[in-house]
Chain A
Amino acid sequence: MNNKGQSTVEYLLLLVVVTALAFSIYNSARFKNFLGPDSEFFAIVKNKIEFSYRHGYDSQQDETGDIAGHYTFVKNGGESRFFTTTKESYGD
């Protein structure tokens, strides 16, 4: 009997354990939620980029794309932070 091949066997056993751990992490719901397909992480990044690009400040509110409900210009109910002519005085 000798010790030859012991380190190889130990290496293989450890490799199996590490591989199993890696696969279990990769296939876990939490990991997929973070980096997998349709992950929440990337959805948040997408929403933040789109919102900040359009409105110039950091948020991730739902963006409907509806121009009539534009957050930056006109809030719900027609309130605005701008001073300007109204449609009536514009000559309509």
Chain B
Amino acid sequence: MNLLWVVLLPLIGTLVPLLTERFGRNICAFSVAILPAWSLILVLMYAGGIFDGDAIRQTIEWIPAIGLDLSFRLDGLSLLFLLLILGIGLLVILYARYYLSSKDSMGQFYAYLMLFMSAMVGIVISNNLIQLWMFWELTSISSFLLISFWWHKSEARKGARMALTVTGAGGLALLAGLLLIGHMVDSYDLDTVLASGDAIRADAYYPVALILVLLGAFTKSAQFPFHFWLPHAMSAPTPVSAYLHSATMVKAGIFLMARFYPALAGTDLWFIIVSLTGLITLLLGAYIALFKHDLKGLLAYSTISHLGLITLLLGLNSELAAVAAVFHVINHAIFKASLFMAAGIIDHESGSRDMRKLNGLWKYMPYTATLAIVAALSMAGVPLLNGFLSKEMFFAETLNQSMLGSLSWIIPLLATVGAAFSVAYSLRFIHDVFFNGEPIDLPKTPKEPPRYMKVPVEILVTLCLLVGIFPVYVVEDLLHVASFAVLSHAVPEHNLAIWHGFNVPFFMSLLAMVGGLTIYYNRRHLFQFQAQFDEPDAKHIFEGAVQRVVSTSARITEKLENGSLQRYIFLLLISTLVMGASPLFDLSQNTGSRAQIPIDGVTITGAVLLILSAIATVIWHRRRFLALIFLSVVGLVVSLAFAQFSAPDLALTQLSVEIVTIILLLLALFFLPQNTSKESSNRRLSGDLFVAGMIGCVIGTICYAMLTSPLNTISDFFLANSKTGGGGTNVVNVILVDFRGFDTLGEITVLGIAALGIFKLIANMRIYMPTRDDKGRAWSNDPHPMMFEMVSQSLLPLALLVSVYIFLRGHNVPGGGFIAGLITAVAIIQQYIAHGVQWIKPRVKIDYQWLIAGGILIATATGLGSWIFDKPFLSTWFDYFNLPWIGEFELASAMLFDLGVYLTVVGAVMLILANLGKLTTSERIISKENV
């Protein structure tokens, strides 16, 4: 699985520097270099096979669900890029060793660099669309880390964020495009995709897919109008620029276009978009580059312009043009990397990158100067240097195309203009920096850099010369296989000779040279002309745009999410209304076929009472005590209604709960304002009333429709099995403790948790205790009236007796643990009210929290008991026994369960009410709850 190692080795390499950093800079740099060198060797071992024209593929299945395989493919194009990435990468590692100052964390830098390198390697050898995208995004992330390496600088942060955002957005577009392509050919395998180019071009989605993919490529390769991020990425350390903006990051976009050339190129749409974008970028970059005073700025824009050139070539839809593009990829990588490194050396040794200060460095660093000059000339496209050859081919191709019909002649013209400008800025780079008088107050006097810092530059410049002079021997084969991979069929005849005779392209280069010289000679006028426009700073524009987006969304959220509960509930009710009402429109008539119960006077009176007191509660809701009275009336009538419609258990429960609730509300009201003034506007009130009313109508209608329609439920089963299976005649109770005992278990758990939560709330509650009510009448200062004490004390045993009785009969007739529990609780509460906490404390020693826990535990244990008999949880057991005097009686596990319920209820209610009561006394609970 060697191809995997090609990408794996650099990936592992990310860890190396972190480990070896402590052993000093040399060892660190050296150790870092090992792994990429190794993987370069692996690649070279394959090279032979590639030159024979076959591509190597290897695949491991990974996540078939998204069509993601670990799938690699090494062909000519991959080989070319691998050599650039790994080769120049190694040189950068060496260069960075001398560039980084001792303050910078070398380990981190190399780690990021290696991460980036492996990502690039991953891109170029991917044979699976998803995998390719994965590595693509990885380059965005790692370049973010590299650009922001000096994160304490604001421009580094901003530049990095800009690069991340732009390339990230492009990445998302690319993902969409790739998924679309995968959707078309029904496979994410690159081979399949490249093979089915015609199908793709014929597909209805082709334009969408093409645009999306190109968005990805253009953002990465800084094509107009996405070029603005690249110059700001220059705030990265120079080795990073030398690597990212010559051979790798920005070339990824070019690689993408070259890679998908067989699948996507060849249509007019492709030509229009790609070639025009390339042309504009070429001119724009070349023009702006001339006016940059910052060395790296100049190089950045020249990079943009050269990328434009390559894009234009790819866009021409001519095979020779594609070859030229591939060739220029090589050349640009070589000379631009060396130029960035030279710029870095100058910056490093003179402390400035400003060409208005940097003059006449020739005296100080002749050797570096020579290297830089050669590289610059190559950038200008001077004969005997590699830049010249690809530029010649470029000119020739601009002549061969005829895509703009009769206007096609414009393209070669503009190409020449662009070339002229690149000559001009190359000249400026040479003349301004190394000649043109004396340096102007530089931070330090320039000198030659350390020996080995020059080595990478030397190697690259030598390559410029070799390629320039002996192209056939040096690059012919590589170029051939790479182009073959791009075109995916036989490469057309092309001639890499230096001298093609006096043909049009030659005159075009000549024209460019002369034009460049004139432009540079008269630059003063141009600079004056340019000075009248103030150059927009992309950084501010971009940041401003982002700021605006953020503040807009902040405003929107403010507006909608305004923290008013009433609005949220209103929305909830509206949704309820819509959802509840919409189906009712299909309900033809709401009276069902079920026989109805005749109306009788008692019920009518009950209903009227209910309605009136409910409405009264609403009307007087601001006079709270009154409202409470009416509320209790409503509750009373409801429990009566339950009794009326043959649900005695419900009636009992409702009643007992009612009592406790009212006690609770009264206690609470003691601490809350008794009255409030009118707060909501009438408009608001009517609105609320309308919505509430509508929901009321909907619910009422549904209720009526439901009541009047016949129904057969599962309940006959319960009636049938209650006695035989559950051992009780009170079916409701049997359901509670047996058929659906699990619900009851949950229910008492809720009660228990609520009690705990309430205790948590009460603990340390610092609430002001009113001494007099809102009418100024003092509360009675005799808390425990004599009479009351006597009565309640004598009542206690009786109440307890009643609760026991209710508890025991529960299983067969209305009653049960819950009601019994409430009665007990109320009885005890009465003692609290009568005697006060101080009197109770020594007498009642139980911790209510234990009661709750014990209750739930007993109930659960009852359920678990059935496991012993290998029955499922909560299976019941019961039997009848006969004892003298008592007679026959029944024992059922359900009773034990009900006991659990009983204890929980008592514990919970006591925990709540007793502690709430304590708030009125000095005995407040103190805990760690920090309010």
Partners in one complex: no
Task: Please list the residues of chain A having a beta carbon within 8 angstroms of any beta carbon in chain B.
Answer: none
